[in-house]
């Protein structure tokens, strides 16, 4: 089969996949949405029990944007190879992303190391979702940001992949424990809390690794001649200035449930959806108004 025929077949499969994932017709939702120019999310790890699909689905249904970047590790191919895990809520997340694309949002998927199988299809569009290795995003105020997953700068992933798989196995066990911890917390009316994120920041070597990763990525961005860099990979949401480069990490939906968002003036900030939902629950109990995100008004 020629390359052109292969590409055509892949596009047709993508369209069939998108059609299969469409939700059946139902009453239109009049739920107020938060409006952004751009949203960056990564490390959702769909296909694992550690994915906070409920919060992710709620976030995606609560926002509108001109451009949505999926910055890698959206689907965890490593874990799915070991055993199939795909509950209905994970389907709902994919459907909601496709609905954004159908409504006119530009959706760009930049595969990471856990969903690297999609790197074979970079340059194509599947169900209205563009696949790219990386991207230069221009903010509303004219700054150039290099968008990539970030595993390219992780020495363990690049040079010692066997060690990365071993670490992923241990991390998976910790995330399973995290699920049980949060089930117990829900019984007592407590909000979501990440045991794995707490332990990571308590381990000196993990903190040093994060700092070194951020530095290396920022240095590469400086060599590329951009103003900033947006990545994921290390599951640590952050905005910091490193030399002349503004480093942005959008976090994850396993530990922190965060996204990086750009408003229509070009300002970027981190949204912690788990914290917001906890604040909404507290406000409801207290009978007070639900707090809006800083700089974002809930549309009427």
In the prediction, which pLDDT does 56 show? 98
DSSP structure string for 15-76: HHHHHHHPPPP-PPP----EEEEEEEE----BTSTT--HHHHHHHHHTEEEEEEEE-S-SB-
**Would you tell me the crossing angle of helices 195-202 and 204-224 to the nearest 10 degrees?**
90
Delineate the domains of the chain, giving CATH numbers in brackets: 11-18+34-279 (3.60.21.10)
In the prediction, which pLDDT does 152 show? 87
pLDDT digits (tens, 9 = 90+) for 52-85: 999 999 999 999 999 999 999 999 998 898 899 9
In the prediction, which pLDDT does 12 show? 57
In the prediction, which pLDDT does 211 show? 74
Which residues does 127 contact at the CB level (< 8 Å), separation at least 6? 14, 15, 17, 18, 21, 98, 101
For the chain, the C-alpha Rg in angstroms (whole number) is 19
pLDDT digits (tens, 9 = 90+) for 219-231: 999 999 999 999 9
Q: Which of the residues in the chain have pLDDT under 50?
A: 24-27, 156-167, 170, 195, 199, 202-205, 294-300
In the prediction, which pLDDT does 160 show? 38
Largest CA distance in the chain: 64
pTM of the model: 0.75
């Amino acid at each position: 089969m020629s390359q052109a025929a292969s590409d055509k077949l892949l596009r047709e499969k993508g369209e069939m996949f998108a059609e299969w994932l469409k939700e059946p017709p139902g009453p239109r939702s009049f739920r107020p949405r938060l409006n952004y120019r751009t949203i960056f999310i990564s490390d959702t790890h769909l296909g694992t029990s550690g994915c906070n699909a409920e919060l992710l689905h709620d976030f995606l249904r609560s926002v509108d944007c001109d451009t949505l970047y999926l910055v890698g590790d959206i689907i965890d191919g490593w874990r799915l190879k070991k055993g199939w895990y795909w509950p209905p809520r994970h389907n709902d997340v994919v459907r909601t992303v496709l609905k954004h694309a159908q409504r006119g949002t530009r959706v760009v998927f930049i595969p990471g190391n856990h969903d690297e199988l999609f790197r074979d299809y970079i340059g194509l569009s599947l169900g209205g979702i563009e696949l790219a290795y990386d991207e230069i995003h221009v903010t509303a105020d004219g700054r150039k940001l290099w968008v990539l997953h970030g595993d390219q700068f992780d020495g363990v992933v690049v040079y010692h992949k066997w060690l990365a798989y071993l670490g992923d196995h241990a991390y998976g066990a910790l995330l399973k424990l995290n699920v049980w911890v949060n089930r117990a917390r829900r019984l007592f009316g407590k909000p979501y809390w990440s045991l794995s994120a707490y332990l990571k920041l308590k381990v000196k070597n993990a903190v040093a690794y994060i700092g070194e990763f951020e530095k290396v990525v920022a240095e590469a961005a400086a060599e590329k001649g951009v103003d900033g860099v947006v990545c994921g990979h290390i599951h640590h949401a952050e905005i910091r200035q490193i030399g002349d480069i503004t480093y942005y990490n959008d976090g994850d939906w396993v530990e922190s449930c965060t996204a990086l968002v750009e408003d229509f003036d070009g300002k970027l900030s981190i949204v912690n959806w788990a914290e917001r939902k906890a604040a909404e629950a507290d406000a409801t109990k207290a009978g007070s108004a639900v707090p809006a995100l800083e700089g974002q008004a809930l549309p009427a």
